[in-house]
Structure 1
Amino acid sequence: MSSLPTSAPRVVVRGSGSIGQRHARVFRQEGADVSLWPVRDRHLAPDAVDEATGAHLLGDAAGPESLRDSFVVVATDTARHVADAIEALDAGAEKVLVEKPVAPTAEDARALLEHPRHTAVWVAAPLRAHEAFRHLRRLVGRLERGGSAHVWSQSWLPDWRPDRDYRESYSARADEGGVLRDLVHEIDYATVLFGEPALLGAGVATGGPLDIAAEQAATLLWTAGSFAVTTRLDYITRPATRGVVVHSPDGILEWDVARATVRHTTPDGDVTEQVFEHDLDRDIVMGTQARAAMTLRPTDPADERVARGAPATLAEGIAAVRLCDEARVSADARSSTTNRTDTEDGT
């Protein structure tokens, strides 16, 4: 637990699903006075408490007025993120942390970006709060001649929430879910590691073993500074695997997220591997993000924000979504060209 000011900061978590409850629990562990405001009004008594998290429960009558001067976490469905964040800003929230992705598309986030107080908005990016990631960033910074990188997050969607039909989750919806939105963290942290991306091409698969409308897999290729980056995101792999490998004339770097290890192979073949055990505890990682979000501002210097495991800024969150939008456009154009060629060939 961190040492916060003697007057506990007030945090309001909008949305009481699994991620909202985790935020509520983590912010309480960090010493905050937390209230949980469910999307569905339950006509709650003034002294109601959420049994799972110990947070105060708010109904729709008390919810809006509680936003003023609070740190607000928006953990509602993706389609609501922008509207809920704007409501918090308009009500006088000190800062707002929006769950990923910030919006279904970059265009959908325009109203939030144009808000007079948009610089008070964070976008959740807990992979930045991993100790292993911050160590990896330092190592990447020492690579003098660039190289190539492969970033991936591959898992089996039905395993995400075994107690719930995955086909009824937001992940399955074409307008809110899909791997590009769900796994946008990979695009975000790759941008931190390698620089601003320029998409070269993408393939997106909506078909596959899962009975869902959203895309089940995506493969992207882009350049960023002196690096060429490939990314594979999918819901159709078992067992789950997640990480990045960087190849360069100055050696090889590997981050295995599931094992919380960073492996460094020098040009001479010497290997060093470090284990970051705290990264295996999701609450510890999210606690790092929570502390940084409460004590820093999105306008603080980028190096300080990244070094302390802060979330993404609003502009960074939108940039990651924009690359996803471009990937869909690229994949659609490629599909249309293929279909047109097949038709012309008579196949």
Structure 2
Amino acid sequence: MKALIIGLGSIGLRHRRILKKIKKISQIKFFSKHKYNDKNNLKSRKEILKYNPDYIVICSATHEHITDLKFLEKNFKNKMILIEKPLFHKYINYNVKNNKVFVGYNLRYHPLIQFIKEICGRKKIWSINILCGSYLPEWRKNVNYKNSYSAKQNSGGVLLDLSHELDYISYLFGNWKPLFAVSKKISNLDIKSDDYLSLFATNNNNLKIYLELNYFTRIPKRQIFIDSKNLSLKIDLLKNEAIIIKDKIISKKIKKFKIDEMYEAQHIDIINKKFKFACNYNDGIKIMKKIDKIRDLKH
């Protein structure tokens, strides 16, 4: 199976490194607007057509995703395409007809996300509180954060960059709707995009959802708090541990888990056409609609 990576920034390099480990991938080439002295660098879209890849990963800047996808839809059929999250920079009404398209929300493959899905099951959940924060200047080695796409108004901001949280809310608890949001830049980071989001939402089961995202904390966190009848959970996705309170406190810590494992599991799931946890194109579109709705609500 031949693979193609479109865009070779930090995330594209990660995908290339991981794809090299997968036995079914026999060849990996890439297409980038930057010049690389590499025999696997395809220098034009015509060379992409000639290469005729089986599996394609779109890692270009977020606002370029739609252009890359339209090119692939026009020129290929029956290919497997993974688009890095978020799907687009805003909701775009575009139907995919010729290829199988997925979105890179690979936190679905985290063992603790699967644990939540298993333990919550059909329980009526009262509330979930989600906290996710990190320090943007430390995200990418050898890249000045001020020049990254995350810093730009049209392609960055926590709402797009940290939209994993929006996806796994849908994945775990079904459809939901935003009710109130504050999305703005509040720190001294030298960026044009929003570095803070506070969101309140609900669903048809009257679940209360609170989400807070930021780019500026020096204390990284990715935590989920869930409460229902006779059950309270604290999930820490960075420490890979869960605290479960039923009749008594139970602590659960999963084995040492690397981020690359989620990427690899996602690739294998799609390449093998299992689609067990993969976020499909329609799910990705739904997230973009929610992002636009949150933008309309923001104060």
Say which of 95, 111, 121 aligns to 1:141: 121
Give the drift of 1:11: 1.0
C-alpha distance in structure 1 between counterparts of 2:256 and 2:72, whole Å? 32
Give the drift of 1:67: 5.7
Say which of 202, 214, 226 aligns to 2:193: 214
In the other structure, the counterpart of 1:249 is 229
C-alpha distance in structure 1 between counterparts of 2:290 and 2:64, whole Å? 21
In structure 2, the residue corresponding to 1:40 is in which secondary structure? coil
In structure 1, the residue corresponding to 2:239 is in which secondary structure? coil
Letter in structure 2 aligned against 1:25: R
1:61-88 Cα offsets, whole Å, 9 max, x none, are 6632256351100000001111112212
Say which of 202, 215, 220 aligns to 1:240: 220
In the other structure, the counterpart of 1:72 is 56
In the other structure, the counterpart of 2:284 is 317
Letter in structure 2 aligned against 1:30: I
In the other structure, the counterpart of 1:152 is 131
Percent sequence identity over aligned pairs: 24
C-alpha distance in structure 2 between counterparts of 1:167 and 1:323, whole Å? 27
Note the residue ranges of structure 1 that are not aligned, 5 or more in a row: 1-8, 50-55, 299-304, 336-347
Letter in structure 2 aligned against 1:231: L
Distance 1:62 1:21, change over 3 A: farther
C-alpha distance in structure 2 between counterparts of 1:90 and 1:28, whole Å? 28
1:266-310 Cα offsets, whole Å, 9 max, x none, are 0x2x1222222353x122221111100111266xxxxxx22xxx2
Distance 1:278 1:213, change over 3 A: same
Distance 1:253 1:292, change over 3 A: same
Superposition pairs of residues 1-347 of structure 1, within 5 angstroms:
9-31=1-23, 32-40=25-33, 42=35, 48-49=38-39, 56-60=40-44, 63-66=47-50, 68-92=52-76, 94-107=79-92, 110-111=93-94, 114-117=95-98, 120-143=100-123, 145-226=124-205, 227-266=207-246, 268=247, 270-279=248-257, 281-296=258-273, 305-306=276-277, 310=278, 312-331=279-298, 335=299
1:145-188 Cα offsets, whole Å, 9 max, x none, are 32100112111111112422111000011100000000000000
In the other structure, the counterpart of 1:339 is none
Letter in structure 1 aligned against 2:130: V
Letter in structure 1 aligned against 2:66: V
Letter in structure 2 aligned against 1:148: S
C-alpha distance in structure 2 between counterparts of 1:233 and 1:64, whole Å? 38
Is the 2:4–2:30 contact (alpha carbons within 8 Å) kept by the matching residues of 1?
A: yes
In structure 2, the residue corresponding to 1:167 is in which secondary structure? helix
In structure 1, the residue corresponding to 2:155 is in which secondary structure? coil
Letter in structure 1 aligned against 2:96: H
C-alpha distance in structure 2 between counterparts of 1:223 and 1:264, whole Å? 23
Is the 1:184–1:321 contact (alpha carbons within 8 Å) kept by the matching residues of 2?
A: no
* Greater Rg over alpha carbons, structure: 1
Is the 1:41–1:59 contact (alpha carbons within 8 Å) kept by the matching residues of 2?
A: no
| Structure 1: 4+ residue segments shifted above 4 A | none
Give the drift of 1:206: 2.1
Distance 1:61 1:326, change over 3 A: closer
Give the drift of 1:245: 0.8
Distance 1:100 1:204, change over 3 A: same
Distance 1:315 1:297, change over 3 A: farther
Is the 2:131–2:222 contact (alpha carbons within 8 Å) kept by the matching residues of 1?
A: yes
Identify, as 1 or 2, the structure richer in strand.
2
